[in-house]
Amino acid sequence: MSERKVLQKYYPPDFDPSALTRRRGNKDAGPKTQKVRIMAPFSLRCSMCGTFIYKGRKFNSTKEIRPEEKYLNVQIIRLVFRCTACPNPINNDYAVVSGAVRNNEPWRNREAENEDDEQRLNRLEREEAEAAGEEEKNAMEELEAKNMDAQREMAAADALDEIRHRNARINRSEKEGVDFADTIVRTEDEEREKQEKEDEEAAKKAFAAARARMEMEVIVEDDTPVELAEPEPIAPAPAPSFKRVIKKKKDHSAALGLKKKA
């Protein structure tokens, strides 16, 4: 059994130390590298497979030191690591080498690979027709939206023209020394008076027509003769007398069947 710690080494009898030659190893042409264990300094997402890597996840990485890369005389260190979720970077998934067949291969479209030129042309024409139909529908919607916008713009332009004309009238009245507010009030009063006069004339015409109609009816009624009955003679009223009238008392005992004894 050998010793745990070797304190001496065996030298053969024919050992010649002068025969030993000094050798130098080849220097690495690239940057100095070192295998280190690091943690992700921030959360990130792999651009190959789309896996999210949270902050603090540990990786076996390679630390590279390039002497020419410095910032303010501080050495810049590069850390290179590989995403653990990318075993097959070509398809971003595992691949079966032999001995099995995968049921579903999401990265592969069997129909697209097996179709010939004619089938591919038909598929492209169908996709173009669907896209054209959607474009036509979108074109109709855009046309309706443009019509609505045009109507809205025309209404806004009319309102703007009216405002400009009103402002021009105001400026003109101010230059002439006339208060535009009084002009507006005066115009409103004139319109009101004109309307009242028209209403009065219409009422007069209506009353005149009704009066003429009533007169015609009265004239027609007067043309028909009416026979009046002769008045009956009235008897003269009797002359009043002031003679006292003595009323006779009624005998109520006879009504009850009673007789007075003699």
Cite the annotated binding site for Zn(2+) by residue number: 46, 49, 83, 86
Type of residue at 158: D
Measured CA to CA, the distance from residue 125 to residue 132 in angstroms comes to 10
Q: What angle do CA 115, 118, 124 make, to 5 degrees?
A: 85
Binding-site residues? 46, 49, 83, 86
